[in-house]
Amino acid sequence: MPEKIALDWSNKDVIEEESFPRDTLNRAKYAEFLTQFLVGQGYDTTREPNDEKRNYVLNLNSEWGSGKTYFLKRWSHDLKAHFPVVYIDAWQQDYSDDPLMTAVSSIIKQLRDQAKMPENSPKFQLPKKALGLLKAALPGFAKSVAKRYLDIDLAALMQANDESELEKVKDENGNLIDMGDLASTMVKQLIDEHDGKKKAINDLKIHVANWVKTVTETQELTYPAFIFIDELDRCRPNYAVEMLETIKHIFDIKGIVFVVATDTEQLQHAVKAIYGEGFDARLYLGRFFNSRFSLKAPDLKSFLEVHTDISKLSGEYLANAGIQILPPNENAKVTLSNISMILGAFKMPPRTAIQIADRVVATISNMPNGSKIDILMLTTLLCLNEEDHKRFQDIVAGRFEYKSKGGKDIFLSGYLSERFEQNNGILKIQINPSEDSNAFKNPYKPTCTHYPAGLYETSFNDYLKKLFSSHCGSQNNFLGFLDLNREADTQTPFERIQEELRSNYNQPRKENKPLTNSGLLWLQAHYYKDKFDQVSIEKYRDYVELASALDLIEEDTKHD
């Protein structure tokens, strides 16, 4: 049983002048597990002497945004203290049209550097003749043989209709050619070429094994060697497939384990682009790998924390910029949590979630001093616009209509209630009653100041029914946040909220029960107290349409 290697990613690190933050997605435990597993597969001294070293290929399956490049770079960097290690970014090198040369050059350079040997070290050289033989292209070779040895165009042979025409093939001087001799020559050359290529592959395997051995001996490291291939699914389809063929047929060397990181679904599309839509790409890819490990996507909040600039959501930034947001939260992570909850409710995929979060941040960063915005409303409208622009236009124009599951015509609040009836998402609001109730009137103020300070909660469904639908002009009043059309009622909406808060505080005290439903009431109180009700729906429409013109072009940085 190999000794377990502990990996500590709790602090940020700089690797080859690239900064990596601490492991917020808790990935180190997976790297530790895979290290233990792969070491056992690639090198085990308890096996028979001629079977101690084995070749092994692992497919690290990871969808976009789950942090596979960050994972591979930190993992490969830490393993260098224990094993020979090579990291290859396939996408950065697919311009070469030559996966074999990409792999060979990366292996030579990185193992040589790890062995701390000079560039001209004879221990890390590969004969040019061997490389030439390795890249011999057999389909083009037959033509070159005919041209080189007989000075004829092979196309003439291919276009011949029958044997009689073949017997009359002439060279450029008009002399008849003995086709039997030509065939014998071509067959001999093809066999020689095949034998030469086979020998070159064997020579390459010996060289690679010796390079690995040199690193283990000079640096006192152990087997197996790790070769990481990243970003293969982003490469051109033919390049990606050729790289897999290279790994399978040329680098099946004992004592070396490969970790090929892909979004396997995307890689299957690449294979089908070559072999056709009806081709079983999953089965085809399966023959290249011994096993597959799927790196799960993180929860949306953690994912957005990595990919989104949340500094502009902090209380400090907003105070300096003179911008008020609803719900009020000093902690940027709490605001981001609310944004991610809404994105999750709409089931937005990772790329789209980043785009919308970036649009929220871009909107805030471009607002002038004295502005105010309901983050929940903006995020919800951005999601609705992303799903269906026409529906979004109908909603902001106050003309939205929808047929319920039972076939009834319903308005916005009914539609949202039906759509999100299974959603149990929670929104968080930071409340400081002693300050927040300063604008309250008597007799409500004295009671409301006794609410405890802290984070209050309300459901996304209640927010949609009580605030969002009302602000967007929903005509379904029984689901509005209050019946504001009572003729006998002379209270303002803000005063009625204060009354509700007082009643909500006193009733549980009488019945010895904990406070409930306070979060929504405090959110409504801020909505009126800070005049968010005066931010027109047309203003939100403009924010959404301007921000939605911003499309994310993600470079799949180290965090991907």
pLDDT at residue 351, as a whole number: 82
> Cα–Cα distances in Å, from 277 out to 241, 268, 269, 283?
16, 10, 8, 13
* 62 vs 55, residue with greater confidence: 55
Q: Which among 531, 379, 515 is positioned nearest to 454, based on CA atoms? A: 515
**Could you read off the pLDDT of 84-113 as tens digits, one per residue?**
999 999 988 877 778 888 898 899 999 999
Global pTM value:
0.74
pLDDT of residue 274: 87
Of 88-102, 135-149, 322-336, 445-459, the one with minimum mean pLDDT is 135-149
For residue 81, which of 283, 262, 250, 221 has the smallest C-alpha distance? 221
pLDDT at 302: 82
Distance of alpha carbon 302 from alpha carbon 500, whole angstroms: 36
Q: Which residue is it, tokens 């911008």?
A: 323
Q: What is the structure's pLDDT at 421?
A: 85
Q: Which has the minimum average pLDDT: 300-309, 368-377, 426-435?
A: 300-309
In terms of average pLDDT, the best of 337-341, 407-411, 446-450, 546-550 is 337-341
Residues of the chain with CATH 3.40.50.300: 13-116+219-294
Encode pLDDT of 218-267 as tens digits.
999 999 999 999 988 888 888 888 899 889 888 999 999 999 999 888 88
Is the pLDDT reported for residue 278 higher than 90? no
Average per-residue pLDDT in the chain? 83
Q: Residues 6 or more apart from 547 whose CB is under 8 A from it?
A: 359, 360, 362, 363, 382
Q: Which pLDDT band holds residue 74 (cuts at 50, 70, 90)?
A: very high
- Average pLDDT estimate for 408-422: 85
18-49 as b/e: b if 16+ CB within 10 A: eebeebbbebbebbbebbebbbebbbbeeeee
pLDDT of residue 432: 93
Token pair 């005290």: residue: 509
- Residue 30 sits at φ, ψ, to 5 deg, of -70, -40
Pick 13-116+219-294's CATH classification: 3.90.45.10, 3.40.50.300, 3.40.50.10140, 3.40.630.30: 3.40.50.300
Residue-level pLDDT at 477? 40
Q: What is the pLDDT of residue 43?
A: 96
**Residue 414 CA to its chain's centroid (Å):** 35
Q: What percent of the chain has pLDDT over 90?
A: 49
CA dihedral of residues 78, 81, 85, 91 (deg, nearest 10)? 30
Among the residue ranges 66-70, 141-145, 274-278, the one predicted with the least confidence is 141-145
pLDDT of residue 181: 59
Structural contact between residues 67 and 297, judged by C-beta atoms closer than 8 angstroms:
no
| Cα dihedral: 401, 404, 410, 416 (round 10) | -80
The model's pLDDT over 153-179, given as tens digits with 9 standing for 90+, comes to 444 444 444 444 445 555 556 666 555
Highest mean pLDDT among 172-181, 214-223, 394-403: 214-223
State yes or no: pLDDT of 547 exceeds 70. Answer: yes
What pLDDT does 277 receive? 86
Rounding to the nearest 10 degrees, give the CA dihedral for residues 60, 64, 66, 70: 80
| pLDDT of 144 strictly over 70 | no
pLDDT for the residue numbered 275:
87
Give start and end residues of each alpha helix (H) in 24-172.
28-42, 68-79, 99-114, 128-134, 138-150, 154-158, 163-167
Q: Which of 471, 469, 345 is closest to 419 using CA atoms?
A: 345
| pLDDT for position 481 | 44
- pLDDT, tens digit (0-9, with 9 covering 90-100), for 487-519: 445 789 999 999 999 988 887 655 555 555 689
Q: Regarding predicted confidence, which is higher, 326 or 479?
A: 326
- Structure confidence by residue, pLDDT tens digits, 3-41: 789 999 999 999 988 989 889 888 999 999 999 999 999
Asked if pLDDT for residue 149 goes beyond 50, the answer is no
- Two structure tokens written together for 198: 């086979």
